[in-house]
Amino acid sequence: MARKKKTSETPQRPRVEGLQAQVTEQPIVDTLELNYMPYAMSVIVSRAIPEIDGFKPSHRKLLYTMYQMGLLTGKRTKSANVVGQTMRLNPHGDAAIYETMVRLSRGYGALLHPFVDSKGNFGKVYSRDMAYAAPRYTEVKLESICSELFRDIDADTVDFVDNYDGTMQEPVLLPTAFPNVLVSANQGIAVGMASMVCGFPLTEVCDTTVAYLKNKDHNFLTTLHGPDFPTGGEMIYDEKALENIYRTGRGSVQVRARWRYVKEENVIEIYEIPYTTTAEAVLDKVTELIRSGKIREISDMRDETDLNGLKLAIDLKRGADPRRLMARLMKQTPLMDSFSCNFNILIGGMPKVMGVVEILDEWIAWRTESIRRRTQYQMERKKERLHLLLGLKQILLDIDRAIRIIRETEREADVIPRLMEGFAIDQTQAEYVAEIKLRNINQAYILKRLEETNALEKEIAALQEILNKPQKIKRIMISELEKIRKAYGVPRRTGILYETDQIVETEEEMAEDYPVHLFLSHEGYFKKITPLSLRLGGEQKWKQGDSLLCQMEAGNRAECLFFTNRQQVYKTRLYEFDDMKASVWGDYLPSKLGMEEDEKVLFACLPGEDYKGSLLFCFANGKVARVALSCYQTISRRKKLTGAYSDKSPVASVVQLGESEEAEIVLCSTENRAVLFDAGLIPMKATRSVQGIQVMKLKPKYQIQWAAKQQETDVKNRSRYRAKALPAAGALLKAEDLGEIQITFSETEEP
The set of residues, in sequence order, having a beta carbon less than 8 Å from that of 694 and lying 6+ positions away, is 622, 623, 726, 727
From CA 570, how far away is CA 562, in angstroms rounded? 5
Q: Which of these, 316, 377, 330, 352, lies nearest to 158 by C-alpha position?
A: 377
CB 564 within 8 A of CB 549: no
Active site residue 237: no
What stretches of 488-607 adopt beta strand conformation (E)? 495-497, 515-521, 525-529, 548-555, 559-564, 568-573, 587-588, 601-605
Strands 495-497 and 234-236: parallel
CA–CA separation, 68 vs 175, rounded Å?
A: 15
Contact 471, 607 (CB under 8 A): no
Residue 548 pairs in a beta bridge with 521
Beta carbons of 352 and 345 less than 8 angstroms apart? yes
Q: Distances in Å between the alpha carbon of 330 and those of 316, 335, 336, 583?
A: 16, 5, 5, 43
Residue 253 · residue 236 · CB < 8 Å: yes
Cβ atoms of 497 and 503 closer than 8 Å: yes
Sign of CA dihedral 205, 238, 270, 185: positive
Closest CA to 624 of 724, 727, 701: 727
Q: In what order do the strands lie in the sheet containing 568-573?
A: 601-605, 559-564, 568-573, 640-642
Separation of alpha carbons 477 and 363, rounded Å: 11
Helix (H, G, I), strand (E, B) or coil at 330: helix
Give the Cα-Cα-Cα angle 245, 52, 376 (nearest 5 degrees): 135
DSSP reduced 3-state for 728: strand
Instruction: Please give the helix or strand (H or E) that residue 284 lies within, else none.
Output: helix 279-291
Please give the Cα distance from 166 to 158 (Å, whole number). Answer: 18
Q: Within 10 A of 299 (CB to CB), how many other CB atoms are there?
A: 14
DSSP annotation string for 355-424: -HHHHHHHHHHHHHHHHHHHHHHHHHHHHHHHHHHHHHHHHHTTHHHHHHHHHH-SSGGGHHHHHHHHHT
What secondary structure, in 3-state letters, does 44-106 show?
Answer: HHHHHCCECCCCCHHHHHHHHHHHHCCCCCCCCEEHHHHHHHHCCCCCCCHHHHHHHHHHHEC
Cα 629 to its chain centre, rounded Å, is 25
What DSSP designation does 35 have?
A: I
For the chain, how big is the Rg over CA atoms in Å?
38
Measured between alpha carbons, how far is 567 from 565 in angstroms, rounded to an integer? 6
Residue 322, CB-side half-sphere exposure with 13 Å CA sphere: 21
CA distances from 434 to 392, 411, 431, 440, 442 (A): 10, 14, 5, 12, 15
Q: Could you tell me where the DSSP H helices lie in 573-660?
A: 589-592
> Up-side HSE of residue 463: CA atoms within 13 Å toward CB?
19
Catalytic annotation, pick one of 137, 164, 498, 514:
137
Report, as residue numbers or ranges, the catalytic residues.
137
